[in-house]
Structure 1
Amino acid sequence: MRRANLNSWLLAAPLTGVLVVFLILPILLIVAVSFWSSNEFSFYPDFQFGNYEYLFGSAVAWKVFGLTFMMTVIVWALTLVIGFTIAFFLAFHVRTQKWQMALFLLTTIPFWTSNIIRMISWIPLLGKNGLMNQTLIGAGIINEPIQWLLYSSFSVCLAFVHLYTLFMVVPIFNTMMRIDKSLIEAARDSGASGFQILTNVIIPLSKPGIMIGSVFVIALVMSDFVTTRFMSGSQLANVGRLISNDIGLLQYPSAAATAVVLLITVLLMIGAMLRLVDIRKEL
């Protein structure tokens, strides 16, 4: 028994070492730096709560956190609806596994290019003189270009949905493919309608995939500042941009404090979701 336990610890030691060096230690260092002091030219070790007091006492920071949370909820809801619909279609309406894999790979085509290129591709479509406005004007629906299509919260959320929907499709599709089709046939033979089968069979059995996809989307959207910068024309800011701006100004303690608060916020959101379902069944 002791030898078996020793072998288990030895097998886990390499991965544990990697996690400690590349995950736990950096996070601990960020937490430590968040209590340091800084001036206009440098930062130095200290233990004070000034960075957190400034962050929680700043109306701008609260506004940025609120905007980040709002966009995260919107993007999560849209990616969930779109991702669930695509996964449902692939899993239950495409009959052959060959076509399922072919159509699933088709959804990955946008990931063959970089995020920057995919974001920039929206500009000719949504711009003031873009294809969307020109089409609406030509059809007589509007008389002048719509200004909020680009460089606004709308364009930022649209880009997020475009970038991260696949992270919702993959785990949901993987979960749906594991659902025993005989359960659906039994429900149908018992007189259940299509909506009842969806709400009472498919959605409950798809919860682990939904939770995994939600974790990916929330974590990515909360921390992504490049998309917000490009698609808002630098007119909007999220928490990631606050951190980026502080780093650019060499205010590392302030950036670290914001990063710690962001990490805690994301962990609380994910923890609340994981209480609804045990995703360890999927891992």
Structure 2
Amino acid sequence: MSDTTKGWLLASPLTLILVVFLIAPIVMIAVVSFWTATEWSIVPAFSLENYQFLFGSDVTYRVFFNTFKYAAITWAITLVIGFTVAWYLAFHIRSLPVQIALFLLCTIPFWTSNIIRMISWIPFLGRNGLANNMLISMGVVDEPVEWLLYSDFSVILAFVHLYTLFMVVPIFNTMMRIDRSLLEAARDAGASGFQILTNVVLPLTKPGIMIGSIFVITLVMGDFITVRFMSGSQSANVGRLISNDIALLQYPSAAATAVVLLVTVLITIGILLRLVDIRKEL
């Protein structure tokens, strides 16, 4: 048996799993997206009706704009927080046990479900919640602030809370692999802390930043339950659009929206991967 045949045999189980659980469902969604649906049945006949309606509606463009807005703002905030936390853990904590303890501390919120962590913000941000009571008692405001809950602010706050760790982990992992002698050499050459950050740490941390960015952007763009709860059903993203179609049993329409979302996410990831060759860097 040749080495090529052995290689194919070794790869065949994983290939089968990918085909059955990844490629086949995506193909099925793409096929269903070209079907039509009535109030009573789904007609398995080729039609561009779903895509024509999708691209011909102003609602679609507003919803996609909302989705990109949430993804961009969440990405920027999680990047700043994630990079700061990773920097502190990697370069300012010398003891490995302390590093591990602090890193585990960051994972504590993940010990409960996303929904519980998300809903926990509602009594805190509500009109009579702890946040408003503190602001009033401190004299910052005279009456409860309405925009803390059921607004874009609360949606983005929940997204940042849910997905920041997905930015911290890859950046921290990349920073831990930076040779500390490079930092010492930069200091010996007279580089300031800011110069070390911009000329040494940031270029070497690009793969981790890119991986974290892909995680956060894809998770936010596919999320729908957070937008539903934290906006009080006053806002929508593409995930909610798909969820609403499924609730109305409009599976072909939901499938068409899912295909457009998938293509959009793949294009976004492709653009990000053009900036950094992750395989080469790692």
1:257 aligns to 2:265 (yes or no): no
Confirm or deny: 8 A CA contact 1:209 1:282 kept in the other structure. no
Provide the C-alpha distance between the structure 1 equivalents of 2:257 and 2:4, rounded to a whole number of angstroms. Answer: 41
Provide the C-alpha distance between the structure 1 equivalents of 2:200 and 2:11, rounded to a whole number of angstroms. Answer: 38
Deviation at 1:280, TM superposition (A): 1.6
Which letter maps to 2:276?
Answer: V
Structure 1: stretches of 5+ with no match in the other structure: none
Three-state SS of the structure 2 residue aligned to 1:35 is coil
Counterpart for residue 161 of structure 2:
162
Deviation at 1:193, TM superposition (A): 0.4
Counterpart for residue 39 of structure 1:
38
Which letter maps to 1:138?
Answer: S
Deviation at 1:282, TM superposition (A): 6.5
Larger CA deviation: 140-149 vs 160-169: 140-149
Deviation at 1:116, TM superposition (A): 1.0
Counterpart for residue 85 of structure 1:
84
Deviation at 1:279, TM superposition (A): 1.3
1:181 aligns to 2:180 (yes or no): yes
- 1:22-44 Cα deviation digits (max 9, x unpaired): 00010011001000011111112
* Structure 1 vs Structure 2 CA RMSD: 1.0
User: 4+ runs of 1 displaced by more than 4 Å?
Assistant: none
Counterpart for residue 66 of structure 1:
65
Provide the C-alpha distance between the structure 2 equivalents of 1:80 and 1:281, rounded to a whole number of angstroms. Answer: 22
Deviation at 1:210, TM superposition (A): 0.6
Provide the C-alpha distance between the structure 2 equivalents of 1:278 and 1:97, rounded to a whole number of angstroms. Answer: 30
Deviation at 1:68, TM superposition (A): 0.7
Confirm or deny: 8 A CA contact 1:84 1:169 kept in the other structure. yes
Closer, same or farther in 2 for the Cα pair 1:44/1:282, shift >3 Å? Answer: farther
- 1:222-267 Cα deviation digits (max 9, x unpaired): 0110111111111111100100010111100000000000001111
Three-state SS of the structure 2 residue aligned to 1:236 is coil
Calculate the TM-score normalised by the size of structure 1.
0.98
1:13 aligns to 2:26 (yes or no): no
Which letter maps to 1:141?
Answer: V
Provide the C-alpha distance between the structure 2 equivalents of 1:175 and 1:107, rounded to a whole number of angstroms. Answer: 17
Which letter maps to 2:12?
Answer: A
Confirm or deny: 8 A CA contact 1:42 1:250 kept in the other structure. no
Which letter maps to 1:174?
Answer: N
- 1:72-105 Cα deviation digits (max 9, x unpaired): 0000000011000000000000011111111111
Provide the C-alpha distance between the structure 2 equivalents of 1:225 and 1:276, rounded to a whole number of angstroms. Answer: 28
Which letter maps to 2:147?
Answer: W
Confirm or deny: 8 A CA contact 1:247 1:255 kept in the other structure. yes
Which letter maps to 1:192?
Answer: A
Counterpart for residue 136 of structure 2:
137
Confirm or deny: 8 A CA contact 1:88 1:173 kept in the other structure. yes
Confirm or deny: 8 A CA contact 1:151 1:231 kept in the other structure. yes
Counterpart for residue 235 of structure 2:
236
Counterpart for residue 192 of structure 1:
191
Which letter maps to 2:266?
Answer: L
Which letter maps to 2:128?
Answer: N
Three-state SS of the structure 1 residue aligned to 2:191 is coil
Provide the C-alpha distance between the structure 1 equivalents of 2:174 and 2:138, rounded to a whole number of angstroms. Answer: 43
Provide the C-alpha distance between the structure 2 equivalents of 1:271 and 1:43, rounded to a whole number of angstroms. Answer: 34
Which letter maps to 1:199?
Answer: T
Counterpart for residue 95 of structure 2:
96
How many residues align structurally? 282
Three-state SS of the structure 1 residue aligned to 2:233 is coil
Deviation at 1:281, TM superposition (A): 4.2
Counterpart for residue 53 of structure 1:
52
